[in-house]
Amino acid sequence: MRPEDSARLGGHRSVPHTADLRVEAWGPTREVCLAQAVRGVCDCFLDLAGAVGVGRRDVVVRADTDEDLLVALLEEVVYWIDTQNEAPVEVELTAVRGALRAGLSMADVGALPVTGAAPKAVTLHELTFARGPDGWHCSVTLDV
């Protein structure tokens, strides 16, 4: 992907972190950045190449701040991974008044190659989520 495409379409990467999972994500809009954060979390423990959603989860996430919205969305993802053994392979996010509507196309974790430890909880340690001159950026740490 060309650098200009990454800025326009968003992206994510994992960052080395002792005994935890750390993800950075970016995008031209808040929603793209959030969707990239979700994808980054799932990419850290699953090989999603060719993964196909077999079900859909529609949720509304509410929060007072953008940082809290990031945490709430990722906590929702961790919940589905932990309780239903499902992970989102596609994420559609729509801003609604005081909330975020998420449409998650879910895949069965058991049907995907596992590449690392699954996240267990979102932490507030060094959490960032803000708009900058190049778009939105976030950084989040999860316990594994």
Instruction: Give me the residue spans of the domains in the chain.
Output: 3-143
- Per-residue confidence (pLDDT) for residue 34, from 0 to 100: 97
> Which of the two residues, 15 and 97, has the higher pLDDT score?
97
Average pLDDT score over residue span 55-79:
96
Phi, psi for residue 17 in degrees, rounded to 5: -155, 130
Q: Which CATH class is domain 3-143?
A: alpha beta
Tokens 């750390």 belong to 22
Instruction: Locate 36 and state its tokens.
Output: 């990239």
Closest to 108 measured CA to CA, from 85, 89, 77 = 85
- Average pLDDT score over the chain: 91
Rounded to two decimals, what is the model's pTM?
A: 0.89
The pLDDT of residue 68 is above 50: yes
> Which of the two residues, 108 and 13, has the higher pLDDT score?
108
Residues 6+ apart with CB under 8 A from 44: 14, 21, 23, 115, 116, 119
